[in-house]
């Protein structure tokens, strides 16, 4: 597998002696991204509740947006009119877009899968829509994302070996069609392949081999964090990642709890994304070094403490848990903003620390100390 | 009527030759306020969707908060614990609090009015609560507002002369009890009286005389913008304001559309507040120099224009109407934030222009030009 996209390079800056973890630098046409990286998710062209400036302040070097959602609304005509998503949403740094595959197969709007693509009903207005490898490339071209993903079939969990194999093979054929319709260096947009195969190591290995053979600028692991037990996900990673070519960025899709970030980095993953931090924030749940806390709880009513005293985010610099609790109880939008801002910053800060720990050869110590405090939950 | 509260002064810096309008400077223990001023409303200890930093950026020199709401939630124990509302919400500039009278009489939770006060059911949990002049002063002391309002009875519209007179007389007696329980200069908090009397000029005149006699640091006009036709409000102002002592700040409560701000300033009003700009913003309605527009309308789908090209707010500097429309259609919280930010900035900017127009002797010209464009609605 080789890449000749000179507007997109990946350099490994340090490889750990303790584990499979490594630090790196992704260079895109819109700027550099230090890895391992957590990418906040802006499903509909905005990371929920946050402004682009706040994402920059949180240290986000790249965000993720969703082909499926942007295709349905505002649509490619609108995106083309505005010159792509970056200008539309006023975000100048890199954007990665998923291909819509995951949403088409998980939002239960599926209607008919054929070798050609998927016909489904829009969750917004019920209109009949069609996504295919070529269509997903076209849409991601309109979005103008810096890293595009191939259109794949995301298997549900559990799935038997035969069905998983069929699905994986279709994903490989679709990946080839994506590559064919988006040649290397086209518009400066990188294209990542996605490895499927559910929990079956032989299928994962075959998917990896055949996907890598097509030739992409990076490889993602799809179909995990879809309901399987945690140990299944870790076993897949333990088995699969060592076989992945080290010179390409490795992206574990849809994974982003603090525990999973540590597990993934240790096994050699470079990129993560998840709606988790912003979704739980809107339900008053925020990360602290001592575990997650529920800001709506009465125990915080008279607390002068910030959410996390080691955090540098706007919410922690300016407001007490007591005030945040009041805002949540009163149903105020500022509560959702401050909690989201904190959770995003918390994970990005964690990744900064992880990169430093890797470089300093103390990642395992960092991980153990982090988890020891995080799981202790003494406030 | 005299005031000896040296931590609170009002200086008239310019009086118009063209109308009753004037510019002034309110000095409080927490900073100066240029008048005429529009005060954004932070009902529950936050101006809905906005952070304190964004209010400062919008040019807000003072905000309003609500005794009734803060009394029910978070309650005075919490406010006392945190050292008052300023520290609680991280807002260092002046705060004016209404007394709770308006809410008690308008939120239909009224239960029993006696000379002593009002017993009512909390709209949050149905618990029995009691507000009286003394209690309203105690709560506003806990809040630590820089300008407190007396606890008054806000008459509904319409009301007959006899009932309006009874109500006005009770408000006068309650005003006296407020003053008695909050002596001048106490804690550096100013106390404003409220003139009632519905649409009856004789009652308004009597209310003014008897309220002024008690001695307050400022006088407010209550009981307007409660459902009466616009001409009734203006007639009351035309008749009442010329009788008000010029040396004290005049505050028209609950009024804040662009048209009403101009009408009020022309008649000599110094202070305004209204939930209008933030409430309509959350329903996608935003001010422009050419009238209000509905950002959720399809006509804006491909618009590259900012909300208002003359506006300096973050929303107008960074985003197109097309993007804002997308955010509203997608139900994204960022839409509510940006529209609220804009509407607040629009009114504050308007007041800056009004003050300049007054000082330059061109207020009537400014008003006519503003309304001509605003009512034209050509985009």
pLDDT tens for B53-112 read 999 999 999 999 999 999 999 999 999 999 999 999 999 999 999 998 888 887 766 678
How do B190-195 and A37-40 pair as beta strands? unpaired
How far from A362 is each of A89, A358, A373, B253, CA to CA, in Å?
A: 39, 6, 17, 62
**What is the per-residue pLDDT for B379?**
45
Residue A329 to residue B52, Cβ atoms within 8 A: no
Residue B45 to residue A318, Cβ atoms within 8 A: no
B1-41 tens-digit pLDDT: 544 556 899 999 999 999 999 999 999 999 999 999 999 99
Show residues of chain B in contact with A333, CB under 8 Å. 48-49, 333, 336-337
Which of A22-26, B47-51, B185-189 shows the lowest mean pLDDT across its residues? B185-189
- Residue B47 in this model has a pLDDT that exceeds 70: yes
* Catalytic residue flag (residue A270): no
B235-260 tens-digit pLDDT: 999 999 999 999 999 999 999 999 99
Confidence of residue B155 (pLDDT cuts 50, 70, 90): confident
How do B63-66 and A37-40 pair as beta strands? unpaired
- Residue A377 in this model has a pLDDT that exceeds 90: no
CATH 3.40.50.720 fits A9-274, yes or no: no
A128-131: strand order across its sheet: A110-113, A118-121, A128-131
What's the pTM?
A: 0.97
**What is the per-residue pLDDT for A2?**
46
Size of interface A-B (CB pairs under 8 A): 109
A192-209 tens-digit pLDDT: 999 999 999 999 999 999
Say yes or no: B89 contacts chain A, CB-CB below 8 A.
yes
How do B128-131 and B118-121 pair as beta strands? antiparallel
Burial of B270 from C-beta contacts in 10 A (0-12 / 13-18 / 19+):
buried
Alpha-carbon distance A8 to A301, whole Å? Answer: 49
Nearest CA in chain B to A305: B82
Show residues of chain B in contact with A326, CB under 8 Å. 44-45, 73-74, 78, 88
Parts of chain A belonging to CATH 3.20.20.105: 9-274
Alpha-carbon distance B256 to B265, whole Å? Answer: 11
- Residue B340 in this model has a pLDDT that exceeds 90: yes
ipTM score above 0.95: yes
Nearest CA in chain A to B323: A88
A94-126 tens-digit pLDDT: 999 999 888 888 776 667 889 999 999 898 998
* Catalytic residue flag (residue A98): yes
**What is the per-residue pLDDT for B2?**
46
Task: Fill in the DSSP letter of residue B147.
Answer: E
Show residues of chain B in contact with A302, CB under 8 Å. 78, 81-82
Alpha-carbon distance A141 to A155, whole Å? Answer: 26
The alpha carbon of residue B319 is apart from the nearest alpha carbon of chain A, in Å, by 7
**What is the per-residue pLDDT for B154?**
87
- Residue B185 in this model has a pLDDT that exceeds 80: no
Question: What is the number of alpha carbons within 13 Å of residue B79 lying toward its C-beta?
Answer: 22
């Amino acid at each position: 597998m080789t890449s000749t996209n000179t507007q997109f390079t990946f350099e490994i800056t340090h490889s750990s002696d303790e584990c499979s973890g490594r630090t790196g630098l992704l260079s895109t046409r819109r700027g550099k991204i230090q890895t391992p990286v957590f990418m906040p998710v802006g499903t509909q062209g905005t990371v929920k509740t946050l402004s682009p400036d706040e994402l920059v302040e949180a240290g986000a070097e790249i965000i993720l947006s969703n082909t499926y959602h942007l295709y349905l609304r505002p649509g490619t005509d609108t995106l083309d009119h505005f010159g792509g998503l970056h200008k539309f949403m006023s975000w100048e740094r890199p954007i990665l877009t998923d291909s819509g595959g995951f949403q088409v197969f998980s939002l239960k709007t599926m209607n008919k899968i054929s070798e050609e693509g998927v016909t489904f009903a829009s969750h917004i207005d019920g209109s009949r829509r069609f996504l295919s490898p070529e269509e997903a490339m076209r849409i991601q071209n309109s979005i103008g994302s810096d890293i595009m993903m191939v259109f794949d079939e995301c298997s549900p969990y559990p799935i038997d070996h035969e069905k998983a194999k069929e699905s994986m093979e279709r994903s490989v054929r679709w990946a080839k069609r994506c590559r064919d319709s988006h040649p290397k260096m086209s518009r400066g947009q990188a294209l990542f392949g996605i490895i499927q195969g559910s929990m079956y190591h032989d299928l994962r290995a075959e998917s990896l081999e055949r996907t890598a053979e097509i030739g992409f600028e990076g490889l993602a692991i799809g179909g995990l964090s879809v309901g399987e037990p945690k140990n299944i996900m870790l076993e897949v990673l333990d088995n699969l990642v060592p076989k992945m070519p080290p010179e390409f960025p490795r992206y574990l899709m849809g994974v982003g709890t603090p525990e999973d970030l540590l597990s993934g980095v240790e096994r050699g993953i470079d990129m993560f994304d998840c709606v988790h931090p912003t979704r739980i924030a809107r339900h008053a749940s925020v990360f602290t070094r001592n575990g997650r806390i529920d800001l709506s709880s009465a125990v915080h009513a008279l607390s002068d403490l910030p959410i996390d005293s080691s955090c540098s985010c706007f919410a922690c610099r300016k407001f007490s848990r007591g005030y945040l609790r009041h805002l949540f109880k009163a149903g105020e939008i500022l509560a959702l903003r401050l909690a989201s801002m904190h959770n995003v910053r918390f994970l990005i800060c964690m990744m900064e620390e992880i990169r430093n720990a890797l470089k300093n050869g103390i990642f395992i110590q960092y991980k153990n100390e982090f988890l020891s405090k995080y799981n202790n939950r003494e406030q």
